[in-house]
Amino acid sequence: MLFQCMKRALWVYIVSAALAGLPVVSSAGVTKLAAADRQHLLQVKDAPLVTTMHQIPAEVVAACAAASSGGGFELADAGQPFQATDVITEKNLPGKRLIWAARLPGYMVVHYERGGIAHSFHVMVVALDSSRKAHVVWAAAARLMKSYAEFREALVGGKLDDTFPYSH
């Protein structure tokens, strides 16, 4: 019973904060990113960005889908319409939208937003091995970031949160 009340109170807070335009994600920090992956991500100062889904390799999309809740990873291209709220206006629009994806040697960082009752931002880091097999090595809740350099700053500053099993 107490757990249900706490869960409901958290939900009310998240919805209230989202409706008020306040950040929903706390900056609890980066706790689950492997040191080797972190080092590689920080070595790259800036990376070329892509803003359309067809520019992201199919194996990266498949890896993100496998790590996503619901098993899908359909994203609208950056700047295109998507289901930004929980009010479904067009059934064919995806519930997520790509902000950008960065190509790094051996990795791809995918930054996207998710619509719904609590609009949120996320990042997934996908490792690509030499045979082009891809797997998500890290995922976190984020804030809107306009560049890879801004992602690096958030990573260094602990402004990304991987402490809670967010729905990606």
Alpha-carbon gap, residue 64 to 60, rounded angstroms? 6
Local confidence band at 14 (pLDDT 50, 70, 90 cut-offs): low
Q: Please indicate, yes or no, if residue 41 is contained in any of the structural domains.
A: yes
Chain centroid offset of residue 43 CA: 21
Mean of the per-residue pLDDT values of the chain: 84
Instruction: Using the predicted structure, report yes or no on whether residue 9 has a pLDDT greater than 90.
Output: no
Q: Please indicate, yes or no, if residue 102 is contained in any of the structural domains.
A: yes
Q: Please indicate, yes or no, if residue 61 is contained in any of the structural domains.
A: yes
Instruction: Using the predicted structure, report yes or no on whether residue 21 has a pLDDT greater than 50.
Output: no
Amino acid 96: pLDDT: 92
Amino acid 63: pLDDT: 95
Q: What is the largest CA-CA distance in the chain?
A: 51
pTM: 0.80
Q: Please indicate, yes or no, if residue 84 is contained in any of the structural domains.
A: yes
Instruction: Using the predicted structure, report yes or no on whether residue 132 has a pLDDT greater than 80.
Output: no
Instruction: Using the predicted structure, report yes or no on whether residue 20 has a pLDDT greater than 50.
Output: no
Chain centroid offset of residue 89 CA: 23
Local confidence band at 35 (pLDDT 50, 70, 90 cut-offs): very high
C-alpha distances in Å from residue 164, one per residue of 26, 27, 139, 167: 10, 11, 10, 9
Q: Please indicate, yes or no, if residue 57 is contained in any of the structural domains.
A: yes
Q: Please indicate, yes or no, if residue 12 is contained in any of the structural domains.
A: no
Residue 89 falls in which region: left (phi positive, over 0), alpha (psi -120 to 50) or beta? alpha
Q: Which domain holds residue 75?
A: 28-156
Q: Please indicate, yes or no, if residue 54 is contained in any of the structural domains.
A: yes
Local confidence band at 70 (pLDDT 50, 70, 90 cut-offs): confident
Alpha-carbon gap, residue 65 to 96, rounded angstroms? 12
| Nearby residues of 117 by Cβ (< 8 Å), 6 or more positions away | 15, 18, 85, 86
What average pLDDT does the segment 16-26 reach? Answer: 47
Q: Please indicate, yes or no, if residue 117 is contained in any of the structural domains.
A: yes
Q: How many domains does the chain have?
A: 1
pLDDT tens digit sequence for 36-45: 999 999 999 9
Instruction: Using the predicted structure, report yes or no on whether residue 118 has a pLDDT greater than 50.
Output: yes
pLDDT tens digit sequence for 103-117: 999 999 999 999 888
Amino acid 19: pLDDT: 46
Amino acid 166: pLDDT: 65
Alpha-carbon gap, residue 36 to 28, rounded angstroms? 21
